[in-house]
Amino acid sequence: MEPRPARIRPMFHRTSSRVFVIALMAVIVSLIILPPLQPANGGTGRSGLQVFKGGGGELSAGRKSGPPPLTALDVKTLAGMVGSQPGTVFAKLTPHMPSIGNKAALVFVDPKLVESGADYAVWGPPQTQINAVGADGSLMLWLKPSAGHKYLIDCTVMSASPHARFVVTGPSGTAPMEVGAIPSGQHLTFVLDAIDSKWASFRISGTGQHGSAAGVSTFIVSPVEWTFYSCEITNL
């Protein structure tokens, strides 16, 4: 009698069995290692996703707007003071629109509040630091001019603090500009006479000066609350 040939199991059967075992082991390991997803603290959502549910409210109109803009005659008069005629508006910056690409930008340094919706920004110390020495925050204005051009800069501000003053510091080599604050608001106007096309910076801050002894003024500089509204730059 001829011997019967040995039974040969199909290779695909072995392969499929191994794949099934490996997949099953991977599922078991993942269940042991990975912790179940937990909701976020205080959340009501699933899988850790926070869900807020509730009603809204009316948007506050904020404080009143700043002083009215300069008239065309005002701008012409100011331009004439430096032997120029007013041209087009180079840029207008506000808390709502604080920058214009490659032309001008605002930087708010330590403000109390920047309200972009109502379009104003406020500086000043908290009530516990009213007598602190030194300025509290400032506004930086950056301008990218063209060499040999002049620009009329008009910033609208307001401070009703007692003895408040505004200080504008420009490029090196020029003395700072200091003016007393008008409680109802005012325009800080100055001119940039650009000698090159590099970025020029201006720092605007509000300070208070008070105090005297034996008839000799000994001023103490302290921060005051002040508000910024806009800065318009006109080609001359």
Instruction: Find the mean pLDDT for residues 59-73.
Output: 81
Q: Is the pTM of this model over 0.75?
A: no
pLDDT digits (tens, 9 = 90+) for 141-186: 999 999 999 999 999 999 999 999 999 999 887 889 999 999 999 9
Segment holding 29, helix H or strand E: helix 11-33
> Could you tell me which of 231, 230, 212 has the C-alpha nearest to residue 220?
212
pLDDT at 65: 76
Question: Average of pLDDT values for 210-232?
Answer: 71
| DSSP structure string for 160-194 | -STTEEEEEE-STTSPPEEEE--TT-EEEEEEEE-
Distances (CA, A) of 159 to 114, 164, 184: 16, 7, 8
Q: Is the pLDDT of residue 213 over 60?
A: no
β 150-158/138-143 pair status: unpaired
Q: Is the pLDDT of residue 38 over 90?
A: no
Domain residue ranges of the chain, discontinuous segments joined by +: 72-235
CATH number, domain 72-235: 2.60.120.260
pLDDT bucket at 134, cuts 50 / 70 / 90: very low
Q: Give pLDDT tens digits for 123-133.
A: 987 554 444 44
Q: 16-32: per-residue pLDDT in tens?
A: 556 554 555 554 445 44
127 by DSSP, 3-state: which? helix
- Please give the average per-residue pLDDT across 51-66, as a whole number: 78
